[in-house]
Amino acid sequence: MTDYKEQLSKAQDLWLDDDTHYDEAIEILRSLLSNAKDDSDKAECLMYLGHVLKEQEKNTEAINAYDQALDLAKNEDFISAYSLFGKGAVLSRSEDRKVLVEAVSCLKKALELTARHRSDDAWKEYHEMTLSRLTLTLLLLDDIEQAEYLLNSAIKNHELPLEDLADEFMNLAHAYYKKQNYGKSSALYERALMTLPKDENLKAEIKNYLGRALYMQGDYQRAKSYLEESLPFIKDNEEWYDGTKKFLQEIKNKS
């Protein structure tokens, strides 16, 4: 048992280290799989094998490994949740709508499992990771309302604090902005802005988007304020900087 855990830990270290050790990690996992004493160990090996294959972008092989892990995992929530997450993450790489719908199904099942254990700090991280991937996949399907509902539910049900979801709300705001729903997008940008850590560059990006969204609503004074605040942080991006200057000039012309 000790040797199994040691070898499994070695395989994990190899694939988490860098991409030059993937094949070595796979070799160890396949060896452990062939000598596994029970279905639980087999499922665990297959789950990690799926992870490594996912990182190698061997999508079909990864999904096959995850499916086998799910067949064997039975009532083991960790293996089931992580395999469903892995499978959903692989499927979400597709541009096929049917495949993306299947990805959402996998990720929703994973989210249900992680929600059961979210009081545990380790599970909380998996829960946030799964929710993030699920909302991104819903946005790929253009299901903005469902993505927003899940994020708001997570906060309302105290599953995750708002500050842990700043990136997700930012992605949601971008999606509404692209849909030209500037009222929704500006509200979400403001929400993200309130929860962001002290990353001035990221804050500047959000302020710039917020300024543009406010401009599109005719709120020129607030737009001007946010756009000007973002300028010092975007000078290295010539296209973004020049575009912001044009917005500011248009605001000046309207004054």
pLDDT of res. 208: 94
pTM of the model: 0.83
Task: Please give the backbone phi and psi of residue 58, each rounded to the nearest 5 degrees, phi first.
Answer: -90, 75
Q: Which residues, other chains included, contact 154 with Cβ-Cβ below 8 Å and sequence gap of 6+? A: 131, 160, 165
**CB-CB contact of 134 with 101 (8 Å):** no
pLDDT given for residue 84 in this prediction: 97
Residue with tokens 């973002």: 230
Q: Report phi then psi at 194, rounded to 5.
A: -70, -20
Give every residue of the chain whose pLDDT is below 50, as ranges.
none
Question: pLDDT by residue (tens digit) across 227-238?
Answer: 999 999 988 889
- Positive or negative torsion for Cα 150, 154, 157, 159: positive
How would CATH label the architecture of 175-255? Answer: Alpha Horseshoe (1.25)
pLDDT at 2: 57
First to last CA, the chain: 75
> Would you list the domain boundaries of the chain?
1-74, 91-160, 175-255
Write down the pLDDT at residue 226.
Answer: 95
pLDDT tens-digit map of 138-168? 999 999 999 999 988 888 877 777 677 878 8
Q: What residues contact 82, with CB distance under 8 A and at least 6 apart?
A: 47, 110, 126
Residue 98 carries which side chain, given as an amino acid letter? K
Q: According to the model, what pLDDT value does residue 154 have?
A: 83
What CATH fold (topology level) applies to the domain 1-74?
Answer: 1.25.40
CA torsion angle 75 51 21 39 (round to 10)? 30
Predicted local confidence at residue 197, as pLDDT: 61
